[in-house]
Amino acid sequence: MGSKLVLFVVLGLSSAIFVQALGSSGAAKAQTKASTPDLSGIWSRRAGATGPDFLSNSKEPEPLMTPWAETEYKKIRESYTSTATGYLNDPVFNCMPPGVPRVYSIDFEGIMEIIQIPGRVLQIFEFDHYVRQIYTDGRGHDQNLPPTWMGDSIGKWEGDTLVVDTTDFNEKTRLDRPGHPHSDALHLTERFRRIGKDKLTVDIMIEDPKAYLKPWGGQLTYALKPDWKLMEFMCQDNHTFDQFIDESAKPTN
């Protein structure tokens, strides 16, 4: 009964945020400065991609890891490849929060909605309806914030690009589908840029001196889906994720 009550409250809060955000999405352009680029809309990663992205492709060159990260990564990979369904050992398939950038590469489409309101940019992900708030009102990072699953995100505009700086992560998530680990020193920089009307790119730079010898990352490409809406895709309703996982993106030996 207690877990159902918690789920009801969480869903209620998510729905309230979602309804409020939808109510403002139509006016987002009018509420922001005329010089501020408009990133709003529903975006699909698969529709915009020309091949596997760096968060899903286990054949990408490995980043240079510290001994600690190498040991952790080896254990994770062994758990993923021990059986045909070992990839389900990924914490997200046990309904744990995905963190960032892992949230971009869970389901087939990587669907998200971006909504701009004064002082904030909201990302609403179809997977579990996670809401990420990126503060663009000039504030710095919250110095009293404990480590969190999704981090503390602040953003600023550099010309036509939204630059997002995220810190204050815990070490409980994995960076990508292959299972690269990170520490609580993770520092994420993302650069969102709209290319014309229908294309969005997100350049991601990962820095973590406890886990990696130098920064690494890549680019994600999204296509605008103006006729789509976010569907309900709750982890609690999908205890096995086979129907949502891209076969080509499953970890391989």
Q: What is the pLDDT of residues 174-183, one digit of tens each?
A: 999 999 999 9
Distance CA 14, CA 8 (A): 10
**Residue range 162-212, pLDDT digits in tens:** 999 999 999 999 999 999 999 999 999 999 999 999 999 999 999 999 999
pLDDT(5) > 80 = no
Produce one character per residue of 14-37: b if its CB has 16 or more CB atoms within 10 Å, e if not.
beebbeebeebbeebeeebeeebb
Taking a C-beta distance cutoff of 8 angstroms, is the pair 174, 180 a contact? yes
Would you state the structure tokens that stand for residue 101, as one six-digit string? 């950038």
**Which residue is listed with tokens 């569907």?**
231
* Spatial separation of the C-alpha atoms in residues 199 and 49, rounded to whole Å: 10
Query: CATH number of the domain that 37 lies in?
Result: 2.40.128.20
At residue 15, the pLDDT reads 43
Q: What are phi and psi of 119, to 5 degrees?
A: 85, -5
Per the structure, how many domains does the chain have?
A: 1
State how far the Cα of 105 lies from the Cα of 166, in Å rounded to an integer: 18
d(CA 238, CA 157) in angstroms, rounded, equals 38
Q: What is the mean pLDDT of the chain?
A: 83
Distance CA 230, CA 221 (A): 19
Q: Mean pLDDT throughout 102-110? A: 88
Measured CA to CA in angstroms, residue 49 lies from 41, 61, 108, 147, 179 at distances of: 17, 19, 12, 32, 21
Domain of residue 155: give its range.
2-249
Largest CA distance in the chain: 54
If you average pLDDT over each of 30-39, 70-79, 225-234, which comes out highest? 70-79
pLDDT for 35 beyond 90: no
